[in-house]
C-alpha cells in the first residue's frame, strides 16, 4: 500500500516596519496541506507565530502574508490558468501589440495566477522587461481533452 503525501504549498511572509509604506519579503515557508483551505489556515497560523515572536523581541513591525503558491500541480482548490504576455512595438504612426509568450500554471484564482506568472516569466532567458500581461484565463477541461494546453 502506498501513501499519498499532501500537496506542497509555499507561502511568502511580508514584513513592514511601522511608518514605512513598503513591505519586504521576510521569509518563505513550505507547508503540506490536503487542500487550499487547510493551506491558508496553516499559513495564517505560521504568520501568527511570527507576529508573536517579533512582539516578544520588541520589534515594531507589521507582518502579513504574501502569495500562497501551490507547488504541487492540480492541488485541491486550485485551477489551471493560461497567462498571455504581449509587447507593444512602436512604428512611425502607430503601435502594434505582439503576443510574445504564454504560460500555464496552477493557482487558487486569477489574481494569484497573474502574480505567479509575473514572477515566472522573469526567469526566462529571453524575457524582456517591456512584456506585459495581456490576458489571464482559466483553462477548461474541454481545452485539455481537445489538445489545447499542457
> pLDDT digits over 78-125, tens only?
999 999 999 998 888 998 999 999 999 999 999 999 999 999 999 999
Position 60 scores a pLDDT of: 79
52 and 86 both lie in a single domain: no
Position 142 scores a pLDDT of: 65
CATH number at residue 138: 3.10.20
29 and 86 both lie in a single domain: no
Asked whether the beta carbons of 70 and 108 are under 8 A apart, the reply is: yes
Domain assignment present for 125: yes
55 and 92 both lie in a single domain: no
* Structural domain of 125: 79-145
Sign of CA dihedral 70, 115, 42, 55: positive
The number of distinct structural domains making up the chain is 2
For residue 52 the three cell numbers come to 508573536
> pLDDT digits over 43-76, tens only?
999 999 998 988 888 877 889 999 899 999 899 9
94 and 137 both lie in a single domain: yes
Domain assignment present for 150: no
Amino acid at each position: 500500500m502506498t501513501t499519498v503525501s499532501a500537496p506542497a504549498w509555499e507561502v511568502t511572509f511580508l514584513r513592514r516596519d511601522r511608518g514605512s509604506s513598503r513591505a519586504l519579503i521576510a521569509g518563505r515557508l513550505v507547508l503540506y496541506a490536503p487542500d487550499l483551505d487547510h493551506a491558508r489556515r496553516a499559513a495564517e497560523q505560521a504568520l501568527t507565530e511570527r507576529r508573536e515572536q517579533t512582539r516578544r523581541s520588541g520589534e515594531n513591525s507589521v507582518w502579513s502574508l504574501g502569495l500562497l503558491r501551490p507547488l504541487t500541480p492540480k492541488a485541491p482548490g486550485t485551477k489551471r490558468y493560461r497567462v498571455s504576455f504581449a509587447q507593444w512595438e512602436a512604428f512611425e504612426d502607430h503601435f502594434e501589440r505582439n503576443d510574445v509568450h504564454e504560460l500555464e500554471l496552477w493557482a487558487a484564482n486569477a489574481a494569484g495566477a497573474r502574480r505567479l506568472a509575473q514572477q515566472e516569466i522573469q526567469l526566462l532567458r529571453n524575457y524582456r522587461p517591456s512584456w506585459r500581461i495581456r490576458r489571464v484565463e482559466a483553462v477548461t477541461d474541454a481545452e485539455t481533452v481537445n489538445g489545447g494546453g499542457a
